[in-house]
A and B are shown apart, each in its own frame.
Chain A
Amino acid sequence: MALTDTSEEIVPAPSPPEEPSPPAPSLGSGAAGNDHKAVGAGFLGLALAFLLAGGVLALVMRAHLVDPDGELLNARQYRQLFTFHGSILVFLFLLPAWTGLATAMVPLQIGAARLAFPRLQALALWLTVVGGGLMVAAPFVDGGRRVVSGWTLNYPIPAGGVFRGDGVEYLLLGVAIVLGAAVLSAANLVTTIAQLRAPGLTSRRIPLFTWSVLVSSAVMLLALPVLMAGLLMMFVDHHYGTRLFNGLTSSRGGNPLLWPRLFWFGAYPMLWALVLPALGVVCEIVAVFAGRPLVDRKRAMGAMGAIGVLAFAGFGSEVRNLADARPLFAIGALLVLAPVAGLFLNWLLTLRKAGKEEGTETVRQRLSGLPMLFVLGLLTVLAAGLGASVVSALGATTRFHTNYWAVGQQHLMYFAPATIAIVAAVHYWAPKLWGRHLSTGMGKLELLLLVGGAHLAFLPALVLGIQDMTIHTTDYSADQEFQLANWAMSAGSAVFALGAVLFALNLLVSVAMKRGRPADQDPWGGHTLEWFAPSPPPRHNFDVLPEVRSDTPVLDLRQGATP
Chain B
Amino acid sequence: MAVVSSPSSTTPDTAGGVAAYGSPAPPPEEQLPKGTTLVGTLMVLVADAMVLVALLAVWWTIKGGAPAWPPRGVFVGTYLPSTVTITAVMSAFSMAWAVSAIRRNDQRSGAVALVLTVFLGLAIANAQWYTLFRTDFGINDHAYGTLLFLLIGYHLIHQLMAIVAVVLLGARALAGQFGRKGYDPLRAAAALWQYTVVAWFMILTAVFLFSPHG
Contacts and interface: CB of A to CB of B under 8 A. Distances in A.
A349 interface: no
A365 interface: yes
Contact of A545 (B10, B11, B25, B61): B25
Nearest to A368: B1
B43 A242 contact: no
B51 A228 contact: yes
A60 B175 CA distance: 62
Contacts of A240: 139-140, 146
B6 A558 contact: yes
B44 interface: yes
B187 to A, nearest CB: 14
Contact of B46 (A15, A222, A291, A558): A222
A236 B140 CA distance: 9
Contacts, number: 206
A222 B25 contact: no
Contact of A557 (B10, B39, B47, B150): B10
A253 interface: yes
Given A251-B71, A252-B142, A15 B8 contact: yes
Nearest to B11: A12
Interface string A112-138: 011011001000000000000000000
A190 B71 CA distance: 44
Contact of B6 (A8, A183, A224, A521): A521
Interface in A162-204: 183-184, 186-188, 190-191, 194-196, 198-200
A532 interface: yes
Contacts of B66: 250
Interface in A539-553: 539-548
Interface in A235-290: 236, 240-244, 247, 250-255, 258, 262, 265
B140 A233 contact: no
A187 B2 contact: no
A524 interface: yes
B20 interface: yes
Contact of B25 (A12, A111, A186): A111
B214 interface: no
A225 interface: yes
Nearest to A541: B25
B139 A540 contact: no
A11 interface: yes
A13 B141 contact: no
A196 B10 contact: no
B10 A544 contact: no
B33 A195 contact: yes
B46 A221 contact: yes
A254 B62 contact: yes
B192 to A, nearest CB: 13
A12 B142 CA distance: 72
Interface in B1-54: 1-14, 16, 18, 20-28, 30, 32-33, 35-36, 39-40, 43-44, 46-54
Interface string B183-198: 0000000000000000
Given A187-B44, A224-B47, A521 B13 contact: no
B13 A520 contact: no
Contacts of B24: 543-545
Contact of A11 (B16, B43, B48): B16
Nearest to B55: A229
Nearest to B56: A229
Interface string A1-41: 00000001001111110000000000000000000000000
Contacts of A223: 50
Contacts of A255: 61-62, 65
B20 A11 contact: yes
Most buried by A among B50, B65, B67: B50
A369 interface: yes
Interface string A49-79: 0000000000000000000000000000000
B165 interface: no
A477 interface: no
11 contacts: A111-B25, A116-B36, A183-B44, A184-B44, A221-B46, A232-B150, A236-B139, A258-B58, A540-B27, A543-B24, A558-B5
Interface of B: 1-14, 16, 18, 20-28, 30, 32-33, 35-36, 39-40, 43-44, 46-55, 57-58, 61-62, 65-67, 71, 139-143, 146-147, 150
Given A187-B47, A190-B43, A241-B140, 13 more contacts: A13-B12, A15-B9, A116-B36, A117-B40, A195-B33, A224-B47, A242-B139, A244-B147, A247-B65, A522-B7, A540-B25, A541-B25, A545-B25
Interface of A: 8, 11-16, 111, 113-114, 116-117, 120, 183-184, 186-188, 190-191, 194-196, 198-200, 221-226, 228-230, 232-233, 236, 240-244, 247, 250-255, 258, 262, 265, 291, 362, 365-366, 368-369, 520-525, 531-532, 539-548, 554, 557-558
